[in-house]
Amino acid sequence: MVKKEIVLPPHELTTPCPYTEFKGKTEGDLVLYVLELQQTLDECNLKQEKESEWFNDLKARLERTSDGRGTELSLGTSYNVDYVQTEANRRGT
């Protein structure tokens, strides 16, 4: 049995971006809806930037670990799991 560590991103980075449904009836309602959509899009874009930073940081830490220069992986939530190695796992299929 091989021990593997699974590193997950922080929960706030894995939640989907909200979808705002238009429920208005007037042109004024449409203007307010467009403003709300713009704010939602800005928040979603910021979240995607944070996701990208998290994954790039994880990649850099993993590369340092494989080079033997560091071993810490303190990103997000980490779980130790038991991993039963089968013939298919060893072949990478």
What's 17-74 look like in SS3?
CCCCCCCCCCHHHHHHHHHHHHHHHHHHHHHHHHHHHHHHHHHHHHHHHHHCCCCCCC
What's residue 3's pLDDT?
Answer: 63
Q: What is the pTM of this model?
A: 0.57
Q: How far apart are CA 87 and CA 93, in angstroms?
A: 9
- Across the chain, mean pLDDT equals 75
Alpha-carbon gap, residue 80 to 61, rounded angstroms: 18
**Can you give the pLDDT at residue 60?**
85
pLDDT over 50 (residue 20): yes
